[in-house]
Structure 1
Amino acid sequence: MEERSRILIVGATGYIGRRIVKASIALAHPTFILFRKEVVSDVEKVEMLLSFKKDGAKLVEASFDDHGSLVDAVKQVDVVISAIAGNHMRHQILQQLKLVEAIKEAGNIKRFVPSEFGMDPGLMEHAMAPGNIVFIDKLKVREAIEAAAIPHTYISANIFAGYLVGGLAQLGRVMPPSDKVFLYGDGNVKAIWVDEDDIGIYTIKAIDDPRTLNKTMYIRPPLNILSQKEVVEKWEQLSGKRLNKTYISVDDFLVGMEDQSYGEKIGISHFYQIFYRGDLYNFEIGPNGVEASELYPEVKYTTMDSFMERYL
């Protein structure tokens, strides 16, 4: 049996990181988890780390402020996957530049997967501020990776289902509305909705695959390429409830944006990219990209019909 790559996961207690850990262990990879000493004061994160350890992962202490500790951690593995936070509350994307330096010095890493997982930053030059900041920073990390000639895979996982499907893509809502729903534009712009556990599985599948080397892997499960209106209709069919629908023009959606909080501005700008411009699905995958469900047809991904059943 071919020996499986040893994987170091950075940001393992985060929203996507924990799914990647779960998938790595399930697919029998020797799994290493980088943890920082400041985590020891967070009881929930410590409990999560200990549960990973119980499942077979090895905990490795290191700090972004200690280059030598990062190099030592990286030298223990073959692959590094970063899932550190990139949201407006804990925006740590540029911390990965320190990780890139450690990988460069260690010289042993066969694949690095930086923390992306959403929209492809390489296609978001036009993105609206302040939502564009995360894309700008992710591109800085890409530039450092490529300048250091580090083997890599970028992953574009589109919409995290847990964030938007339950709330039917209503801003600030993660549970289904009971009576009314707002539809963006005509509601027919296609988007791509992906179960977070499937993101973990596809990510681990990609790390030893030569077809994904130095490419962007887009996760586009065919049955999950749906407009917002189609998602709403699926929920109505499942729940047996009909919702009152209000259609919001792009002008009405953006009006008053400047008066919102910083976090709300980011949410509005990202919703604009997804549901008005259609930036998740308005392009063909080029020669520098591959599609996950085509590469790994054996993965039985979660459809949004199935995902929504948890809210009944």
Structure 2
Amino acid sequence: MAEKSKVLVIGVTALIGKFIVEASAKSGHPTFAVVGKCAPSSLVQGFTGLGVHVVQGDISINHPETLLNAVRQVDVVISTVETPLEVLYMTVAAITTVGNIKRFLPSVFGSDVDRAHAVEPARTFYAAFYTDIRRLVEEEGIPYTFVSCNFLAGWHHSTLAQPGATAPSRDKVVILGDGNAKVVFNREDDIGTYTIKAVDDPRTLNKILFIRPPANTSSMNDLVSLWERKIGKTLERVYIPEEQVLKKIQGAESPKDLELAMLHSIFVKGDQTNFEIEPWFGVEASELYPDVKYTTVAEYLDQFV
């Protein structure tokens, strides 16, 4: 059996960072995690208990040595850093300088922005934080896997994608567009599992790994109907036509306008699923790894009934 790659995770306090660290350690990869001074002690203790090599130090333009020294120790770098943007460019520079990295999985988790039909300000945001990084990695000739994990269940699914909610509604739900666009919800630990399975897989080299399991792909109308059956109650559905959504985006202040523009891309334009995954650019995770028992939409909602 081939030796498992040494994995470095940057951005462990981000939405999915810790799940990737845990999946890496549990799967037997020698795992390194850059942890800043402000990280919760419970997070550090949890990593240590899993045998993770904790690299203490903040990553900033003033302290590039932290990142550079960490990259020198590993084979694979995974970044879930959300901000600042300079950290992404620092990571690419460190990988290029060291020259020993077999695979880079940059901070492009989420929807596949190359196939999105986003309006402003999401279009500019996607270009700065996702598209430009993808093109830079390709231009530098860095071996990569871009992970398109789509929605995070804990952030969106547990609220029926209602901004500001803390639990699935039992009364009313607001739906952008006609509610028929297919969207994808994945549990965070499943995203971690699929991501780590891809790091040494030649089938995912220089490809996009789409995490789009069939049982987690549904329209908002279907999702609400499923929830209604589980709680035995019919919800009031308030539909907002696309024209009205666009007016709301134009009239909203930052960062609300960005959030609405992203939701428009996904729920109105269907940008998570309105394209076929062609072999020349991507692969689908649940097809590649049928042994993974992922949590389905229906199973996830059971905890809120």
TM-score normalized by the length of structure 1: 0.92
Alignment equivalent of 2:44, drawn from 39, 49, 55? 49
Separation in 2, partners of 1:263, 1:120: 21
Give 1:155 shift: 0.6
Matching residue of 1:132: 123
Alignment of 1:199-278 (within 5 A): 199-278=191-270
Secondary structure of the residue aligned to 1:182 is strand
Mean CA deviation greater in 131-140 or 1-10: 131-140
Give 1:73 shift: 1.0
Q: What amino acid is aligned across from residue 11 of structure 2 in structure 1?
A: G
Matching residue of 2:33: 33
Alignment equivalent of 2:298, drawn from 300, 305, 312? 305
Matching residue of 2:12: 12
Give 1:269 shift: 0.5
Give 1:123 shift: 1.8
Q: Deviations over 1:154-188 (max 9, x none)?
A: 01011111121122122332411121112222211
Q: What amino acid is aligned across from residue 14 of structure 2 in structure 1?
A: G
CA contact (8 A) 2:4 2:29 kept: yes
Matching residue of 1:289: 282
Secondary structure of the residue aligned to 1:285 is coil
Matching residue of 2:60: 64
Secondary structure of the residue aligned to 2:109 is coil
Give 1:192 shift: 1.3
Q: Deviations over 1:58-98 (max 9, x none)?
A: 1113533233332221110110000012xxxxx32442111
Matching residue of 1:2: 2
Q: What amino acid is aligned across from residue 23 of structure 1 in structure 2?
A: A
Q: What amino acid is aligned across from residue 40 of structure 2 in structure 1?
A: K
Secondary structure of the residue aligned to 2:54 is strand
Give 1:261 shift: 2.7
Count of aligned pairs between the two proteins:
301
Assess, with a 3 A threshold, how the Cα gap between structure 1 residues 194 and 310 changes in structure 2: closer, same or farther. same
Separation in 1, partners of 2:271, 2:166: 22
Give 1:132 shift: 2.1
Give 1:106 shift: 0.6
- Structure 1 unmatched ranges of 5 or more: 86-90
Secondary structure of the residue aligned to 1:19 is helix
Separation in 1, partners of 2:81, 2:111: 16
Separation in 1, partners of 2:124, 2:303: 34
- Structure 2 unmatched ranges of 5 or more: none
Identity %: 41
Mean CA deviation greater in 301-310 or 57-66: 57-66
CA contact (8 A) 1:165 1:174 kept: no
Alignment of 1:71-110 (within 5 A): 71-85=68-82, 91-110=83-102
TM-score normalized by the length of structure 2: 0.94
CA contact (8 A) 1:64 1:99 kept: no
Matching residue of 2:23: 23
Separation in 2, partners of 1:232, 1:109: 44
Q: CA RMSD in A?
A: 1.5
Secondary structure of the residue aligned to 1:3 is coil
Separation in 1, partners of 2:66, 2:239: 53
Q: Deviations over 1:165-221 (max 9, x none)?
A: 122122332411121112222211111111111110000000000000011111110
Give 1:306 shift: 0.6
Runs of 4+ in 1 over 4 A off after TM superposition: none
CA contact (8 A) 2:175 2:237 kept: yes
Secondary structure of the residue aligned to 2:238 is strand
Q: Deviations over 1:220-260 (max 9, x none)?
A: 10111100011111111112222112222112223333332
Matching residue of 1:112: 104
